[in-house]
Structure 1
Amino acid sequence: MTKTADTAKPLPLADLHRKLGAKMVPFAGYSMPLQYEGIVAEHEWVRAHAGLFDVSHMGQLEVRGPDAAKALEALMPGDFIGLKEGRLRYSLLLDDNGGVIDDLMVTRRADHFYLVVNAATKKADLAHMTRRLPDGVSIEERSDLALLALQGPAAADVITRLGGEVSTMTFMRGSPIRIKGSEIWISRSGYTGEDGFEISVPVKKAEKLAKLILDDKEVKPIGLGARDTLRLEAGLPLYGQDLSPVSTPVEAGITFAISKRRKMEGGFPGDERIRRQIEDGAKVRRVGLKLEGKQPAREGAAVYSGDAKTGVVTSGGFAPSVGAPIAMAYVAAADAKDGTELKIEVRGKKLAAKVVPMPFVQHRYVR
């Protein structure tokens, strides 16, 4: 049976979303708020103020054991042995051919690693890692935790007004803090390109915390629609569209997720293929495209160089902050250079597009 917003799994804050007037839609098996007052208005509010996202559909996992760092390095290309406590690292779960099974965030805490994985892949991720982790290293899904994201230039001030101390916290760092008597885990990270925080909080305390944050005049609730337009402008890939087992990190343009030591030493799935692509180049590349006119191109649209098909759009839409339609696509390496003129087929018409640098809107992380 196809899931609808009513039959999909509810989020911990489902009642609050409905009270706030959210339009609910099914996404990754969950009933999620698509929008409250409108995607463009919410997008622009996050760029100017701060927006609260409920991302409790994401998987929160904990990996424990004396050899946990080494075990994770056998699954992913990040440097986890050298990762300091309270630091986050963007990484990739890879298959044996170097294809991307998932992209995720890994944090070293005092006695374990904390992973945040994508909702649509979390069951498969958990099964994959459970099979491959050695004896003495355990993995647990923390379904008792909700996850909120507060994003936008006013985010730090909002947390400060609630009594949280984040003034010394910089991008990709995390720490437990106390807000109104409750201890939460907070990291300076997010999926919008803006400054902001992701907050892990017990499900039982999530609604109270969300209401406290929303009481601030600088904060509005934001849905999936604006989350997608914000991440697209930030040039951030979406798993299942821009990333999949078909693509390697080199093809996807995310080799920054492979640390210098791991590039030299290898020891992760698909390392030979990936290191060969780093040295020799990949045949296809993920690129940013800016279209002429106002008509957007969506996922699946064919991309042409002259009369020859060179690739396919993986994400696309109208970008409110850019004032034009933009897209991400995989194209032949020969057509991936900035400034290359291409065409995208939309409804039988070929729209002019140009390869442009990403991000489309500059990141505003606090480093």
Structure 2
Amino acid sequence: MAENETLLETPLAGLHRELGGRMVGFAGYAMPVQYPAGIIAEHLACRSGAALFDVSHMGQAELRGEGAAAALERVTPAEVQALKPGRQRYALLLNGAGGIIDDFMVANLGDRLFLVLNASRKAVDVEAIGAALPPGVSIVPRPDRALLALQGPGAEAILAGLAEGVAALPFMGVLETPVAGIPALVTRSGYTGEDGFEIGVPAEGAEAVARALLAAGAAPAGLGARDSLRLEAGLPLYGQDIDETTSPVEAALTFSLGKRRRMAWDFAGAERVREELDNGPKRLRVGILPEGRQPARAHTEIALNGLPVGEVTSGSFGPSLNAPVAMGYVARAHAGDGTALELMVRGRALPARTAPTPFIPHRYKRTPSISTGAIA
């Protein structure tokens, strides 16, 4: 970011400062990295109760027009046309070389599709999707909306006291219902591995909703806890764990490829995806558990017998595990669970091993009759 560039603010900026949030620049926005309780306390509050995150910096957009789902399938391998009204799906936006432009959420609202895009990629996404749309279908950004994430095992009880119908909502379900009297779009999803909800509201109603959720028992939480929670949950972060050079196969995101799409191969980047599925990619995203207490941060070299075999893309201390955790890419021959590795931290080779993700089991509220095939 340029030194003289002014950071944007979300509709909750005043509330963050009132609550003592320490503001930092993130994706062009002033965002709270933590509150006075601290990152570890906020992380554990989400695992044991409920935490409230401001994610209004994320992009929100509507896809309108007849044939919108088929049009979106030109740039994503997800099965959008099979998505039923009232349901949401995790999807990847791919370029012609099979690299990931972004990962996003798409919900079917019946008369339109609703998209949630990563903050740093929303302008790129809108341009890429818009370029693939036929006449009569349009993508309409919604910068007039805010987005809150209420996450944790206590989220349902808190939200159910302020909104009707949310307790019956299954994982990846979508509901339009007022929250604390404010019209809202509620999805049962999130980025922590816990049960929870994302709540989209008009910008002018965001503070009233946030205050109601906090008054009902949610703890305010910032970017620091959001990052440690998603890392323990094994969820990739765009710009660190996935980018335009990464394929869905390398990134271990093949669950997002629709079965019908893997038969037709009619999406952007299909040639690379098909080749890697058939013959295996050169590298794979894996979970990593360092031994001892020293975290391995992003860009740490991964070695084996003194030779480089990969790189850490995300690494931190995992408060729920009380131990360091990491993710990264290693050559496919060394990607099996339990493979011994060396992490080159400050000139020292620290022992580690590959491990399955998530490091902390997901606790999404699933309905046996509904197969989601997706993460939040």
TM range (shorter): over 0.9
Partner of 2:278: 279
Partner of 2:162: 162
Deviations 1:330-366 (A, max 9, x none): 0000000001000011111111000000000000000
CA distance in 2 between counterparts of 1:150 and 1:279 reads: 40
Partner of 1:49: 49
Contact 1:35 1:224 survives alignment (8 Å): yes
Contact 1:3 1:29 survives alignment (8 Å): no
**1:338 partnered with 2:337:** yes
Residue type at the aligned position of 1:228: D
CA distance in 2 between counterparts of 1:149 and 1:163 reads: 15
How far apart are 1:3 and its partner, in Å? 5.1
Report the 3-state secondary structure (helix = DSSP H, G, I; strand = E; otherwise coil) of the residue aligned with 2:183: strand
**1:149 partnered with 2:149:** yes
- Distance 1:133-1:163 versus aligned 2 partners, 3 A rule: closer
Report the 3-state secondary structure (helix = DSSP H, G, I; strand = E; otherwise coil) of the residue aligned with 1:57: coil
Deviations 1:175-204 (A, max 9, x none): 101233332110000000000000000001
Partner of 1:361: 360
Residue type at the aligned position of 1:123: A
Counting only pairs closer than 5 Å after superposition, residues 174-213 of structure 1 correspond to structure 2 as: 174-213=174-213
Residue type at the aligned position of 2:182: S
Contact 2:182 2:209 survives alignment (8 Å): no
Deviations 1:261-316 (A, max 9, x none): 11111111111210121122111000000000101000100000111100000000
**1:70 partnered with 2:79:** no
CA distance in 1 between counterparts of 2:179 and 2:293 reads: 45
Report the 3-state secondary structure (helix = DSSP H, G, I; strand = E; otherwise coil) of the residue aligned with 1:43: helix
**1:348 partnered with 2:347:** yes
Identity %: 51
CA distance in 2 between counterparts of 1:157 and 1:180 reads: 14
**1:101 partnered with 2:101:** yes
CA distance in 2 between counterparts of 1:222 and 1:323 reads: 19
Counting only pairs closer than 5 Å after superposition, residues 22-33 of structure 1 correspond to structure 2 as: 22-33=21-32
Contact 1:23 1:33 survives alignment (8 Å): yes
- Distance 1:103-1:3 versus aligned 2 partners, 3 A rule: farther
| Unmatched segments (≥5 aa) in structure 2 | 367-376
Residue type at the aligned position of 2:245: V
Counting only pairs closer than 5 Å after superposition, residues 59-138 of structure 1 correspond to structure 2 as: 59-138=59-138
What RMSD in Å do the two structures reach over aligned CA positions?
1.1
Deviations 1:109-138 (A, max 9, x none): 121110000000111111111222111110
CA distance in 1 between counterparts of 2:88 and 2:180 reads: 25
- Using the size of structure 1 for normalisation, the TM-score is 0.98
CA distance in 2 between counterparts of 1:180 and 1:317 reads: 36
Residue correspondences, number: 365
**1:252 partnered with 2:251:** yes
Report the 3-state secondary structure (helix = DSSP H, G, I; strand = E; otherwise coil) of the residue aligned with 1:44: helix
CA distance in 2 between counterparts of 1:56 and 1:182 reads: 16
Partner of 1:321: 320
Residue type at the aligned position of 1:255: T
CA distance in 2 between counterparts of 1:45 and 1:19 reads: 20
CA distance in 2 between counterparts of 1:307 and 1:297 reads: 17
CA distance in 2 between counterparts of 1:354 and 1:49 reads: 31
